[in-house]
Structure 1
Amino acid sequence: MQTHSTWLMWALMSAAFAALTAVLAKVGVSQINSDLATFVRTVVILIVLAAFVTATGQWQAPSAITGRTWLFLALSGLATGASWVCYFRALKVGDAARVAPVDKLSVVLVAVFGVAFLGERLSAANWAGVCLIAGGVVLVTWRV
């Protein structure tokens, strides 16, 4: 149970910070170009993470990291950068209350990609949840 509560606590905090990200970014991007806003955000993240890794003593020699790990982390970084650029551009012109839920379609895509590429398995109840998330995004973005 300890493992479950640990990942769940971190995931819930991630969701809370992601919600704050959308609201704060919507205000922050209102007066500047969305790409510059993404750059400023990235610099802040870089500084905070460097301080965190330093403070916790987690630095390790680059040579201790395998080539495969470098490749996949670099690809993940490229995907993250592309996601942030698209997200900030969407926030610049759209409502945060609609942009953020569409961005969370990533949950649906992770489920599909996890099954297709990582060999993960989801139960019928899990797939129902994935479908409900997708349906919820449609309902949140639907203008009445």
Structure 2
Amino acid sequence: MNNLQWIALGLLTALGGAGVTVFGKLGLEGVNSTLATTLRAVIMALVMLAVALGTGQLGALASGKVQLSGRAWLFITLAGLSGAGSWLAYFAALRVGPTAGVAALDRLSLAFIFLFSALALREPHSWRGWAGLLVLLAGVYLLASDR
């Protein structure tokens, strides 16, 4: 994958994330945050199921052409559980907190990813990366405390 491709996909991710936050906040009016998160997850699951069926990936898994190791299943499961917990907390926070502040705190996930990638995945980071982490932390603080 070339640099332009992953950058374009990353920007689409950010745009989609903004939609999740703004539409999610609007959809929480008078709705329990757990119920809203559950409904959103069902809608996402249906879309993902359609994509997996449409691209033949689900059929390949069912037929045995694609096999997942126990390790892959473990980490896919852990990622799913992490995502569910994250979104339950995120939508509960959105229901009671300022949208920009909640979103800013959510972006601390980048700081955790940066640290965990260094510690658990042994990915090296340059001084620029560490400087960027400090700028990110300062930005999150400024955005979250903007009241």
> Normalising by structure 2, what TM-score?
0.93
Alignment pair present for 1:80 and 2:79? no
Match of 1:42 in 2: 41
Match of 1:123 in 2: 126
How many pairs are equivalent? 143
User: What does 1:101-116 align with in structure 2 at a 5 Å threshold?
Assistant: 101-116=104-119
Report the alpha carbon displacement of residue 142 of structure 1 after superposing the two structures with TM: 1.1
Match of 1:12 in 2: 11
Indicate the RMSD between aligned Cα atoms, in angstroms: 1.2
**Preserved CA contact (<8 Å) 2:101 2:146:** no
**Preserved CA contact (<8 Å) 2:111 2:137:** yes
| Segments ≥4 residues shifted beyond 4 Å | none
Match of 1:61 in 2: 61
Gaps of 5+ in 1: none
Report the alpha carbon displacement of residue 20 of structure 1 after superposing the two structures with TM: 1.0
**Partner Cα separation in structure 1 for residue 113 and residue 146 of structure 2:** 26
**Partner Cα separation in structure 1 for residue 125 and residue 80 of structure 2:** 27
**Partner Cα separation in structure 1 for residue 27 and residue 143 of structure 2:** 23
Alignment pair present for 1:31 and 2:34? no
What secondary structure, in the 3-state scheme, does the structure 1 residue paired with 2:123 have?
coil
**Partner Cα separation in structure 1 for residue 29 and residue 101 of structure 2:** 16
